[in-house]
Amino acid sequence: MKKGAILVLSGPSGSGKSTIINAASNEIGEYYFSISTTTRQPRVGEVDGVDYFFVSKESFKEDIEADNFLEYAEVHGNYYGTSLKPVQEAVEEGKLVIFDIDVQGHRLVRDKMNDITTSAFITPPTLKVLEKRLRARCTDDESVIVGRIKNAKNEVKAVSEYDFTIINDTVEQAREEFIIVAKAARLKQSREDEDKFTTQWLG
């Protein structure tokens, strides 16, 4: 039976994380992409379990009390959070759970599930390249781009906290490196695995 594992991906907006995951999806085995839980109503076209897990405020608060969230926040009267339940279920099913979260989120995952967590920081080669890509997308106004660049300058300072750094110069090269990292994540031994192995080995 394949072992479940957690792979945290972080990096500046515009670094190509989603593109790399999609390009590598057929090569990394069965995986579960972690999505948020929210109490807000679904928007037109949104699907429960695909875009978000949509739940009642009562249910969300019960999960807060039970410590079932990795992290959560209240925004404009609605709750948003990363539920541990689907993550734990996916791990138990032997899937690779992929998080696309920020530096702070990475620290929270490490605090709760460090034993089975591997992480990679994905980034373009330089800040100038990132800025060029953000402007080429033509999807954000100038104030948003400036904000993303400012965040990127802070995020890159945390690169040493990650197990791997993937430089997204070309999607093909980054894809190959991501596949290697994803396979390495599945090979990571938890403390429980190590103890079982030692006991079995000693007979």
* Chosen domain end from 93, 122, 141: 93
- What is the band of 2 on the pLDDT scale with cuts at 50, 70, 90? low
Domain identity same for 86 and 107: no
Please report the pLDDT score of residue 10 as a whole number: 93
* Chosen domain end from 93, 108, 125: 93
Q: Is 147 annotated as a binding residue?
A: no
Q: Is 143 annotated as a binding residue?
A: no
Domain identity same for 157 and 180: yes
53-67, 137-151, 169-183: least confidently modelled range: 137-151
Rounded distance, CA 126 to CA 201, Å?
A: 47
Q: Is 203 annotated as a binding residue?
A: no
What are the tens digits of pLDDT across the range 64-96? Answer: 999 999 888 888 889 988 888 889 899 999 999
Rounded distance, CA 82 to CA 92, Å?
A: 17
Give the domain CATH number at 46: 3.30.63.10
Q: Is 190 annotated as a binding residue?
A: no
What are the tens digits of pLDDT across the range 103-151? Answer: 888 998 899 889 999 999 999 999 999 999 998 877 778 888 998 899 9
Q: Is 2 helix (H, G, I), strand (E, B) or coil?
A: coil
- What is the band of 1 on the pLDDT scale with cuts at 50, 70, 90? low
pTM of the model: 0.84
- What is the band of 98 on the pLDDT scale with cuts at 50, 70, 90? very high
Q: Is 160 annotated as a binding residue?
A: no
Q: Is 14 annotated as a binding residue?
A: yes
Domain count, the chain: 2
Domain identity same for 169 and 191: yes
DSSP state of 76: T
Please report the pLDDT score of residue 41 as a whole number: 93
Q: Which of 183, 149, 185, 178 is nearest to 19 (CA)?
A: 178
